[in-house]
Structure 1
């Protein structure tokens, strides 16, 4: 287990434990903020406090794939249907008063790592781009909130990231690309429901989610934390790294994908 401590932030990052031959349960990963954390954004009116930690999934690198597969530089070596991922989370409020806490999950695939930005509207209002999974929870004082990001939700994360890559790589003429990307990452938008603005850009092949950035956001100083436990299973082929396996995890992608500034 690795533990890192910085001013106002604590992180705990662990490895993986074997659950079965075809399933891995990743040991708990946690990140939290204290009320001593400096805001990441402060315009004198709005203050945004945010922390995060990368979570690599126990997935092996796939075999070499040749040939271009737009919007990807080559065909994905592992696709979304090959693995099944579920994320169980616990958000803890250590303060006596309730807080509104935003849970953030930003997906990776073998090509890019999604990195939403902050849009400043009319130099007066700061609006963060949507994360892949982005949801507010009201957490009462001295209590916890539990939840599950289902396998269908995780597949949606993979589809949304691939679609964002396609839109940013080849934007429609005159399009508000920032608006399109935020629309597709909105939790109310599902790829299974036809959207004339988004659906035509969904790639035919969807790379698997190989990791994600786990984060918390608050608009007030707070003592809060989130812990996740991730289950990863094989569906097609043998892609997971089991306990004691000498195979390494697929690497964190070097490239970041950030929506362009809003029009």
Structure 2
């Protein structure tokens, strides 16, 4: 059965189309997650528990920087003063399954974006589709850059701060596996989604919800929101929050430029259309 033209589709047709895209997205996550489950031992030992070891690249670099600056720091310690344990019968199995699902989401992200693009692209004009050809590649690159930033920057800073924090020598840190994985997962995936800000602003500008003027006008409020987000996804120390806030501020500024380009292109298209109409008359 041939697919209907976008102008011929009813509301229910759109819902049906969206349902099939969501089914494909779910299947892609399940398939990628199944593959991740097969290699779960390697994922846990190398990736998940990598930031727990002091030979992690981030700690080595920060240790060298601390020595160069002559600052005493915990980045140069031999081991972290905490252990990870499972307190429930199904704790490790549950952690394995959910980690595989989230890994599947990360692996399948380009395909997820592709399916979302297939759903929204019929509603765009031909020139808009041409100008957005790199959408899948750019959004995927931004997401993976954010994941790497969260994994190599946010996660080590959070583990170093929270793992070495102590209110008393009488209290030993014994973290549950779910709590530890949640920290790694949140820092990585949240950063990946935050790095999608330019893409979000692009489409919001397309539909007329935001403009460069609005983004500039509310820049100071955006700064406050960025600091709040940084405080949520990082440990409560100023250095970590500043490290997170800087790339988000850069992305916000890039989003302003992108919004300006979109508005300029829309104005140019409108002028060309008016000129064409005048010539036809």
| Structure-1-length-normalised TM-score | 0.29
Report the structure, 1 or 2, having the larger strand content.
1
The answer to which structure, 1 or 2, has the higher relative contact order (CA under 8 A, 6+ apart) is 1
